[in-house]
Structure 1
Amino acid sequence: MEAKAPLRIAILEAGYPPERAAAKYGNYGSIFASFLEASVAKIATPEFPGLEVTKWDVQKLEQYPSLDDIDAVLISGSASSSFDNTPWIIELVEFTRMILIEQTRVRIIGICFGHQIVARALGAKVDRNAQGWEASVVPMQLSPLGKRLFNGRDTLNLYQMHRDIVTELPEGVQLLGSTPVCEIHGMYAPKRLITVQGHPEFNSDIVSEILGLRKSLGIISQDMFEEMMSRVNNKHDGLEAGVAVLEFLNE
């Protein structure tokens, strides 16, 4: 049997890991490349195509791939707010909208900030969450569709690190899951897009460092820090989410 051509995934780096995490794991492109390869290894089907990952700094360098050279884009998380109108965010929204509106071959994966950018590109509102931060491992209650896509489970435990949310489901997409403080935790449209508000690519090292930095800057309180850290080593279903993402790409 002839081997399938590799899936060409462009990682759009919309932010940068904290210092210790970057030294240990690399930039977000490297973190996602390792995460996707580990997800491929978890797939039982040996015929699953390989991956060809490229990395594009869309924040500082405003680099973008040619759609002719890729099969999918993955938009990373970011410390920036998805509803800001800084030039690089506007350009990212327009690039995402172009993929969603002007063609049907290249697919989109949105992670946290990327999830919000996809919603914004589709005309939905993104905003600060009045209920505040959601961080560390949080169980997401899956919708009926989410249960089907995530291997029949009822909940998906993912690392979270956000206080911005998608406030309304865009037209033409389906909900994957919710938490008590964030109704729209994932979106899906067959052969077009899949997003999650959480961070399946994160681990306890990365989350612990980010929480420590945010406490030191006064962004979260000591009490919030301690409560979030109490969950940082809870069961995390990142690779299960990764398998669902890869199966979406292979639909």
Structure 2
Amino acid sequence: MPQLPLRIAILECGNPPPNTDAKYHGYGGVFKAMLDAGADALSYPGLSSSSGLELTSYNVVDDQVYPSLDDIDAILITGSKHDSFADDPWILKLVKFTEEVLAQRRVRIIGVCFGHQIVGRAMGAKVGRSEKGWETSVTAIDLTKKGQEVFGRPALALHQMHRDVVFEYPEGVEELAYTNKCAVHAMYIPKRLITVQGHPEFDEEILREILATRHELGIFDKAAYDEALGRVDKYHDGVVISQTFLRFLLEE
């Protein structure tokens, strides 16, 4: 049986919008809520929202401080409003750190949205702006046969907030999921990495705030905003993904 607690370093690649930030105190808090829900649903001995998880958060944008790999079992790279293909110093540092984690075999990697893209970039895949535009709000996701096995579902529904994509699967990565707008929706290497393009950590309240903020900024016109709002309250598999992340970390 794997040793508990699972020591997960959450690499915060930005800040949530104001109301979400006030409630959760950064994306570290948002992901803590997600992982706690997954732990309670998993029914694994010694693992729950009150025991078995040791979470630490690192603001890699402003502070650019990273954990020692000796002190953790996994990193979780969060989403971000920034471009994963940009060459800002903090992004280049994050890519380099991810490459260092990939080069060893003990500490595992979870990537979400921007984090999924950073893992792809660190593995040599092309990342960039999709010509197919935004995926937003709760979206149906098709799974490969391996994806159905890993996630334990025939298909998924998950909150989305992206127009950047990983254009191809890096060599050696298992293909898990896809949509019409994004061919690379989830990547997997047993005992090494798992990533998703969607946002299992988001809920309706968080998505509503992000949509409203981006509508006010003119990023989404009224038609796109209204269309996304029409799906924001639909069922989504955030807890399923959280359970999958934890099972991945528990793989022996």
- Give the whole-Å Cα distance in 2 for the aligned partners of 1:4 and 1:60: 32
The corresponding residue for 2:122 is 121
Asked if the contact 2:4/2:46 (under 8 Å) is kept, the reply is no
Gaps of 5+ in 1: none
TM alignment of 1:46-85, pairs within 5 A: 46-48=45-47, 50-85=52-87
Q: Shift of residue 4 of structure 1?
A: 3.8
- Please state whether the residue corresponding to 2:39 is helix, strand or coil: helix
Given that residues 3 and 47 in structure 1 are in contact (C-alpha distance below 8 angstroms), is that contact kept between their aligned partners in structure 2?
A: no
> Any conservation in 2 of the 1:215–1:221 contact (CA below 8 Å)?
yes
Residue number in structure 1 paired with 2:108: 107
Structure 2 counterpart of 1:178: 178
Deviation by residue 1:9-62 (Cα, 9 ceiling, x = unmatched): 000000110011111222000111121111000012334471100000000110
**Residue type matched to 1:158 in 2?**
L
Q: What does residue 90 of structure 1 align with?
A: 92
Contact 1:9/1:71 (<8 A) preserved = yes
Letter in 2 for 1:149: V
Amino acid of the residue matched to residue 147 of structure 1? Q
Tell me the distance in 2 between the aligned counterparts of 1:129 and 1:213: 22
Matched residues in 1 for 2:111 and 2:126: separation? 16
CA distance in 2, matches of 1:96, 1:17: 22
Q: 1:202 to 1:129 in 2, by over 3 A?
A: same
Q: Supply the AA of the counterpart residue of 1:5.
A: L
What is the aligned residue count?
248
Identity over the aligned pairs, expressed in percent? 52
Query: 5 Å matches for 1:117-156?
Result: 117-151=118-152, 153-156=153-156
The aligned residue for residue 12 of structure 2 is 13
What is the DSSP-based 3-state SS (H/G/I as helix, E as strand, rest coil) of the residue aligned with 1:176?
Answer: strand
How far 1:91 moved relative to its partner?
A: 0.2
- SS of the aligned residue for 2:180 comes to coil
1:74-128 residue CA offsets vs partner (Å, 9 max, x unmatched)? 0000000000000000000000011102x10000000000000000000000010
Residue deviations 1:164-202 (CA, integer Å, cap 9, x gap):
000011011011100110010000001000000000010
Which letter does structure 1 place at the counterpart of 2:100?
Answer: M
The separation in 2 between residues aligned to 1:21 and 1:82, in whole angstroms, is 23
**Residue matched to 1:36:** 35
Question: Match for 2:194: what amino acid?
Answer: I
Distance in structure 2 (CA, Å) of the matches to 1:175 and 1:208: 30
Q: Answer whether contact 1:112 1:197 (CA < 8 A) is retained.
A: yes
Partner of 1:236: 236
